[in-house]
Copies of this chain bind each other. A is one copy, B any other.
Amino acid sequence: MSVQSNKKAVALFSGGLDSTVCLHAARAAGFEVHALTFQYGQRHTVEIEAAKRIAKHMSVENHLIMDLDLRAFGGSALTADIPVPKSGVEADAIPVTYVPARNTVFLSLALAYAESLGAFDLFIGVNAVDYSGYPDCRPEFIKAFEAMAGLATRDGVNGTAYQIHTPLIDLSKAQIIQKGIDLGVDFGLTHSCYDPDSAGRACGRCDSCRLRQEGFISAGIADPTRYQPGMDHHGAS
């Protein structure tokens, strides 16, 4: 279990656009990829189904879906019963879709998985550009987590460093989409919407839909997303 293998990586993977590009980046870097998806009281399971489709499509080595009910804690529109905002992204505020300590919890579980596998590389698709409101998407958080991980684990104590790879952290949404195209991502399989209908079609109006749409437009790439009928999916009034 504690045998070092540089080839194994644990990749946090939601089935959304960013984490799908991140998963492809892990594969492209030559890692044996162990994808980790959390089923955590999302109001919709469309994202989980997307994750399963993508993992199968990519033939990742392992795809572990773990139940984790963060609704017990409340505090976010993504896990509780607060309406999802549709008024556009507020650049400087921390969005109400922020889940308390989410990336800390996710990275901790990825670390536990990595330690069990004998992996020392973790991938997370955080982005500090379009999600500047989320404190746990910033490079200084990632560095602090790496430092903590080195002290938290058997292998860390024995001198092995854990590396958290954040291949998207400095990229705009358009650059992420372009990177995905370069890596062969099928964006038609990915899901971003915070508020899809029962058929899994995107609302076209939530913060996540808007960022995604703007990204495809900026990248000059056709948006393969399935939107709900009657929605103006470019967010104009």
Contact B72 A100 (CB under 8 A): no
Instruction: For A75, list chain B residues within 8 Å (CB).
Output: 1, 115-116
A145 within 8 A of B: yes
**Nearest-CB distance from A102 to chain B (Å)?**
7
A140 within 8 A of B: yes
Other-chain contact of A101, B68, B100, B153 (Cβ < 8 Å):
B153
A113 within 8 A of B: yes
Other-chain contact of A72, B66, B111, B150 (Cβ < 8 Å):
B66
Residues in A94-143 with C-beta less than 8 Å from chain B: 94, 98-105, 107-109, 111-113, 115-116, 135-136, 138, 140-141
Chain A interface SS verdict (over half) = helix
**Nearest-CB distance from A237 to chain B (Å)?**
30
Instruction: For A99, list chain B residues within 8 Å (CB).
Output: 112
Interface on A for B, CB 8 Å cutoff?
1, 64, 66-70, 72-75, 94, 98-105, 107-109, 111-113, 115-116, 135-136, 138, 140-141, 144-145, 147-154, 156-157
Cross-chain pairs A/B with CB under 8 angstroms, 23 sampled = A66-B69, A66-B72, A67-B69, A72-B113, A73-B112, A73-B115, A75-B116, A99-B112, A100-B116, A101-B112, A101-B149, A102-B112, A103-B152, A107-B108, A108-B109, A135-B152, A135-B156, A136-B153, A141-B151, A141-B152, A144-B144, A144-B150, A147-B148
